[in-house]
Structure 1
Amino acid sequence: MLTTAEEDRLEAAIPTTGLTVTYEGGTYDYDLDVHWTGGDDTDAAPGPEPEYPVLVLGWNSQNNPQTERQPANGLYSIDNPVDEPGYTETETNEVSDELAVAIAVRTTHDDNGVPPQVRSTQLTRAIWRAFDNEIDLNSEGPNGERPMRLSISSSPTPARVERTYRHQWAVQLHHAERYVTEHETAAGAEFTAEQTDN
């Protein structure tokens, strides 16, 4: 499960401004309004309706175990300094989260005269390519966000939802839950031995 900072880092990596759509010889730029679905605060009043077109993100599932990527005994590393008592074990649990992604547009021609299917298809292509080739989060973030690897797990599927036309697909985010345990050791031991001749 991603932290809020990790979700923010993911969102910031998605290109949402200056996306180009071409139609009948014209080229038009669009910005996507980002909207997260779900959440824990069920008593909260609904927020304002997003400005279309919109990028909708939400979790299909979180913390799915990835046993085929798990190291032996779940042990990631052991730090045992030579001149210091104690050592540190880091255990890891390889998991993945499935992110639902959708591009939604109004089901009417916009002010540029571009039909909804054209807008949704071309905006989807741009975001899908970003997830497939451009977004690189496979290193630690500036605020300690964990590295994660992205892989697309389903192809975009068109759908009509209320007064919107959208394409939706899913992305797997592979990352690790890490647990650190400090162990104490004796600084040294003294002993004596006696030898007797028989």
Structure 2
Amino acid sequence: MTEQPSLSFFARLWLAFLCFWRVLFSRPFAQAVHPLSQAYDAGTLGAGSPTPALPKPEPTPVKVAPPPVLPPEREHASALVLLSMLQREGRLIDFLQENVASFPDADVGAAARIVHEGCRKVVQQYLSLKPVMTEGEGARVTVPAGFDAQRIRLTGNVAGQPPFAGSLKHQGWVTTEVKFPTVSPALDPRVLAPAEVELS
């Protein structure tokens, strides 16, 4: 067995300083050193005796802070901003909040044309859309086995196993690109349209 090199006075002083604080503040370290101290005092631990391995200190678990909970207006800011743009360009909220049941059809049709034009502009500017199925409405189509139920909804007499054959009632729409602007933290997304005051 190779003899361990002797430590200098200053090395032993530094080691004593370190051990003092570790014994004082670390219970596992103190419990590991205590049997060595008793064995040395009893004479059973000599200079050539192997030093028992000290247990590795248990790593301190790192506490990960949970993500901050956003208020509803911040969590859904993009949707509120889209609604705000539909109001600004097409007066959509004004149209939906109005009771049109008592209006003549001609007035409702004229208002719907304005709303349609503005809302279409917003959708084309910020969203890229394409139909889920490219066949024309009314065309005969086949729905294969393993179809995506989110993209294709079956109606009518649904029985048996796919493939299914039927008539296309609606092409469906899927978003291929979203180009919403970044919502500034300084803005309150709950304000969909500010009140307008004309000064005289």
**Which TM-score band (shorter chain)?**
under 0.3
In our comparison, the structure showing a higher alpha carbon Rg is 2
* Higher strand proportion (structure 1 or 2): 1
